[in-house]
Amino acid sequence: MESKIKLLDQMRAVLRLKHRSLRTEEAYLNWVKRFILFHDKRHPKELGAPEIRAFLTYLAVHEQAGASTQNGALYALLFLYRHVLQQPILNLQDIERAKRPRRVPTVFAREEVHAVLTHLSGVQRLMANLLYGAGLQLMECVRLRVKDVDVASHHIIVRDEQGGQDRVTILPQSVEAALQRHLAKVKLLHEEDLLEGYGDVDMPSALARKHPHASTSWEWQYVFPAAKRSRDPHSGLERRHHVSETVLQRAVKNAMRRAGIQKGGSCKTLRHSFATHLLESGYDIRTVQELLGHKNVRTTMVYRHMLQDGEKAVRSPLDLL
């Protein structure tokens, strides 16, 4: 079992070297543990494509895992073999990735968005306003840094933490005053942390080495910090991390319930509604694609099926009788 522990430690080190998030790190390590246990604790060096296929088949058939779960397991194992063991997997082309079913996203009508936002207050309402008003994903919102909010130019820079391309999206002018009041409170909190000998925030590794004092600067702080400081699992330092995403998830669910909205929905529904309502307002699909950060316009095309108004809306023949 000692070799297994060393392997997982080695994988953890490579994941951190490649700046994978803590969530990805935990998920990948968990899948590798399950893969090893599934094959009677044999070392992955002794295994290959047939064993990976058998594991994925077990997940699909016996555990009835969805496509995203199967693909998550596959990506973890591919990372292990490619970047940790540096061992090519033969017949890799025979391992089929599970296809996600194409589903039409749930979208709120404009009055439903208003009802949800009305039943939110404080920081949760401000965050929800950004999900809908700027088309942010949940984690993009909670990870937002002060330096990436440009009130003067009315835009937000969304950083891609996985090394991809950053994007620029709109900052709703209707929330700018509330956002500035919020940032003033956050700055006071940061100054209190500094006076107590803290105020350090986690930074991308390369920047942390190049600018060792930047982690205590105001511009690198989170826009939505946690209420309490906590111990960083990577560095062991006591820091103020960003607010947990579950705080906003619960608040939005409760707001939907109080608003009497029966359809399924979540924080992501606010982003879906952002895209759909922009198309309804006549903005071209390429603009919406850029604001959402979709690499392929076909991903954005799904929102065209949700259009309810406008000259191009399809009307039922019954309504024309």
pTM of the model: 0.79
**292 SS3 class:** helix
Residue with tokens 């994941």: 15
Q: What integer pLDDT is reported at residue 318 of this predicted model?
A: 43
- Counting as low any pLDDT under 70, the low residues of the chain are 1-5, 89-102, 161-164, 205-206, 208, 305-321
CA distances (Å), 313 to each of 151, 269, 304, in order?
36, 21, 10
Tell me what pLDDT residue 321 has. Answer: 46
pLDDT for residue 297:
84
Note the pLDDT tens digit of each residue in 127-141. 999 999 999 999 999
Q: Which residues contact residue 218 at a Cβ distance below 8 angstroms, ignoring those fewer than 6 apart?
A: 146, 187, 190
Q: What does the pLDDT read at residue 116?
A: 96
Give which of 86, 90, 83 is closest to 49, Cα–Cα: 90
Position 84 scores a pLDDT of 92
3-state secondary structure at position 231: strand
Q: Which element (helix H / strand E) includes 155?
A: strand 155-158
Could you report the per-residue pLDDT of 175-230, keeping only the tens digit for each? 999 999 999 999 999 999 999 999 999 887 667 677 778 889 999 999 999 999 99
C-alpha 114/C-alpha 110 separation (Å) is 6
DSSP state of 167: E
